[in-house]
Structure 1
Amino acid sequence: MRLPEVERGDSLRNRALIRIISMVLGTRLPDAARVAFYHKGFVGSALGAWTQDAMRGPSQWSVAERELMAAMVARWNSCPFCIGAHRAIAVRGMDKAVVDACLTDYHTAPISAPLRATLAFLETMTLRPGELRAAHAEAAMAAGVSRHQLTDAAAVAALFNIITRYANALDFAIPSDAGFDKAAGMMLKRGYA
């Protein structure tokens, strides 16, 4: 259920910002951004800072790899908005065919062994968290994933296990591919905070 205040903005200032940004983008401002304007206590500065750090902060993973991880968590959580949004950003830094192959089946996609092992860890973390054990982390590190990389990937997965659920709960509208692409350009330029 989408609250009217999320759709249009909960204050005169936020309504104006939503309209101006939509005009500049040339498309409807995506619901993820609309929620960020809505009641700062719901999706406020703490979540924005965490997202910015996980997705754009220093990491041995590229921005595109972290965006792919977010898209994979969205796939496992059946969140069409987040799949589309994060796929659109990932393809700006990775080959589109590789991203799409991962989203179809990362086990057979043409990706590095460390990335594949990390996605296996994240899949267990997302779909079967009660089964996650030290052996899963050890398997990823045996494939060449550093402890730092695994920590960074786990932060991405934890974050998007939250975000995908509220995106589905609030029934985020699904933009066209062109809309996702425009938003991807904005996200790469401005970040998440």
Structure 2
Amino acid sequence: MRLSCLDDGHRLRGRLFLRMTSRDAPDVVRMLLYRPEFFARPLLALTVTAMRGPSYWTVGEREDMARRVAERHRCAFCFDSHAEMTRLAAHDPAETRAVEDAPAHAVRDAARVTLVWDVVNRLGNAFGFALRGDQVHTGTRALHRFGYRFPGFLLAGGKDAGHDDPVENLRHAVFAAPAVTDRELRAAAAAGQPDEPWRSYTAMVRDASYRITDADIARLLAAHSEDEVFEVTVAAAVGAALKDYDADQTMIP
């Protein structure tokens, strides 16, 4: 990955877990176990609800929606992973029902699926997620078996906002809770209004994350810490995804 902290900067419990379960855990797992209180814990709570909670949509349909989001973001890691998850769910993509024909509550469910993967795909592209060896099979089988749930002790630490809605907990964690960067920078990254060198970078995160290169990250690291790059990238990705999600909510009857 493009940030070394996502490979080897985990807390002791995370390092031990990765060592005991797999020395080559998928990049998305490594990212989510890095400082989970910053955004991974609320994101995972939302993911479990959206992808495996009660829904109008079958598990296979939701995995196929995630595959389509990955296709739109041109994220090969996520596309290949969700194509395999769709297969594991024994679902034919041709049988996914159209969102526009669904009742209002089902449209809300679909919007949450899209929100989760709009975030993850942008981060996967920005941080350079890659599938290695047989991860497309081993990693997806594990995620499918456990339904995106992580052991609670791995995510412990810090305080959540305590909202009933996991979307609001995610919003609070990324934009209101204390972090290495100040709240103003994270809000500006979400809105597309930070000063350079962040402005052009966060524009790519929001609108064309597949264009981000090693050189783009290296330029930022010449003047900023890995934690700063991590937080600003997350803020830009979550901000862009929430902007679309919030706009969709106003259109659902």
- Structure-1-length-normalised TM-score: 0.71
Aligned to 2:140: 184
Compute the displacement of 1:149 (Å): 1.5
Percent identical: 33
SS in 2 for 1:91: helix
Structure 2 residue 25 is the aligned partner of structure 1 residue 69:
no
Cα distance between partner residues in 2 of 1:75 and 1:46: 25
Alignment deviations for residues 47-96 of structure 1 (CA, whole Å, 9 cap, x no partner)? 1100110000001211111011001000001011111111111101235x
1:170 corresponds to which letter in structure 2? F
Other-structure match for 1:152: 109
After TM superposition, what 4+ stretches of structure 1 lie above 4 angstroms from structure 2?
none
TM-score, length basis structure 2: 0.55
1:168 to 125, 129, 132: 125
Asked if 1:31 is matched to 2:27, the reply is yes
1:50 partnered with 2:6: no
Between stretches 161-170 and 3-12, larger displacement belongs to: 3-12
Assess if the C-alpha contact under 8 Å between 1:35 and 1:43 holds in 2: no
RMSD: 1.8
Tell me how far apart the structure 2 counterparts of residues 59 and 180 of structure 1 sit (CA, whole Å): 26
Q: How far apart are 1:10 and its partner, in Å? A: 2.0
5+ residue gaps, structure 1: 100-109, 119-139
Whether the 8 Å contact between 1:9 and 1:34 is mirrored in structure 2 is no
1:181 maps to a residue whose letter is: H
Match of 2:95 among 111, 115, 126: 111
Measured after TM superposition, the shift of residue 43 of structure 1 is: 3.4
Aligned pair count reads 149
Q: Which has the higher contact order (CA 8 A, sep 6+)?
A: 1
**Correspondence for 2:78:** 82
- Write out per-residue CA displacement over residues 101-132 of structure 1, whole angstroms, 9 at most, x where no aligned residue: xxxxxxxxx325xx1x32xxxxxxxxxxxxxx
| Other structure's SS at 2:57 match | coil
Give the residue type in structure 1 aligned to 2:146. Answer: R
